[in-house]
């Protein structure tokens, strides 16, 4: 890390307040591990940014965040995972429905509403003046139920893929009021995966695999770009573009020297039939997709590294000025 000229976020033991990882639900052990790792890494590479990133509200009525807080001196960024699978009161999640218009505010800041909890993860960023990152997020489209013989039984499309997915993104990333209310939010990572989850439900979190949803998603990014809220990238590594794709245009009102980003995304997913990958050419900066690397991890924008993470996922990153 010290020899590459690039800096990273280290998202160590993410979602430590959940019970789905072997290290989860062990706050004392987590804090000891975190402090030791921070001290060791900081001596070797002091620009590595440590991202403290619980899951939203944990799986029960336990105190979700405070027992896992290692202290402001050991945290560079505050993060959280948030997803829309359906209303908390509609489990098992098999229905494709709209996310509330203030859904993410309910989750990260205890805004009034049925979906959030009593504790605000965003207030850790406010209290300790830390940048805030939504480390994982997406809306799922429930596609089918995986049967024992490997076949799939389709689920009702409900309001449809595009509306289901975009209702989530419109509740925060493409919502100017939300961005104004949460100025410490500096980066968002989209979870671009297909997974078989609760009750063998086939869930597709990807916003980039069908034409209608991708068009709506790209339109949201263009509006975000036009507002001046995001920072796109160019510079040292150049911008790789898929064969045959048009040249990339850059926005004149951006600071382009600090980060380097790929605008061609390869979306990989594990399915019941094997590995699927899709390459998406991007024709202009306002719909850029990729992983970002910056010169100053502690105060800038860098690529996300998952430590002690149970699987490899594909993320799309958005940098917010």
> 63 an active-site residue?
no
**How many whole angstroms separate alpha carbon 136 and alpha carbon 148?**
30
* Beta-carbon count within 10 A of 176 CB: 11
Candidate list 115, 136, 192, 202, residue with the active-site label: 136
Tokens coding 2: 């010290």
Candidate list 15, 115, 192, 284, residue with the active-site label: 15
**How many whole angstroms separate alpha carbon 138 and alpha carbon 234?**
26
Question: What residues does 77 pair with on adjacent strands?
Answer: 51
**How many whole angstroms separate alpha carbon 179 and alpha carbon 173?**
7
**How many whole angstroms separate alpha carbon 163 and alpha carbon 152?**
23
CB 235 within 8 A of CB 241: no
Angle, alpha carbons 251-162-88 (nearest 5°): 115
> 66 an active-site residue?
no
Active site residues: 15, 136
């Amino acid at each position: 890390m010290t020899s590459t000229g690039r800096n990273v976020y280290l998202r160590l033991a993410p979602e430590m307040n959940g019970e789905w990882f072997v290290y989860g639900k062990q706050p004392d052990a987590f804090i000891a591990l975190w402090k030791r790792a921070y001290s060791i890494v900081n001596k070797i590479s002091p620009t590595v940014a440590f991202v403290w990133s619980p899951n939203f509200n944990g799986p029960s009525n336990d105190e979700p965040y405070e027992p896992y807080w290692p202290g402001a001196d050991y945290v560079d960024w505050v993060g959280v995972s948030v997803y829309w699978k359906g209303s908390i009161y509609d489990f098992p999640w098999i229905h494709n429905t709209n996310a509330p218009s203030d859904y993410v505010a309910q989750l990260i800041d205890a805004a009034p509403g049925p979906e959030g909890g009593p504790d605000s993860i965003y207030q850790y960023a406010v209290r300790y003046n830390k940048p805030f990152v939504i480390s994982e997020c997406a809306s799922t489209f429930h596609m089918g139920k995986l049967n024992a013989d490997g076949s799939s039984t389709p689920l009702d499309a409900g309001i449809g893929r595009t509306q289901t997915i975009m209702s989530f993104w419109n509740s925060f990333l493409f919502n100017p009021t939300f961005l104004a209310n949460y100025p410490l939010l500096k980066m968002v990572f989209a979870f671009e995966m297909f997974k078989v989850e609760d009750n063998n439900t086939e869930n597709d979190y990807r916003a980039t695999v069908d034409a209608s949803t991708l068009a709506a998603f790209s339109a949201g990014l263009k509006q975000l770009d036009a507002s001046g809220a995001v920072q796109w990238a160019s510079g040292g590594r150049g911008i790789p573009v898929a064969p045959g794709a048009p040249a990339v245009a850059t926005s004149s009102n951006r600071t382009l020297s600090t980060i380097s980003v790929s605008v061609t995304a390869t979306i990989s997913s594990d399915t019941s039939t094997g590995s699927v990958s899709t390459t998406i050419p991007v024709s202009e900066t306002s719909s850029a997709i990729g992983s970002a690397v910056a010169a100053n991890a502690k105060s800038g924008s860098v690529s996300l590294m998952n430590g002690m993470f149970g699987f490899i996922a594909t993320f799309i990153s958005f940098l917010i000025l």
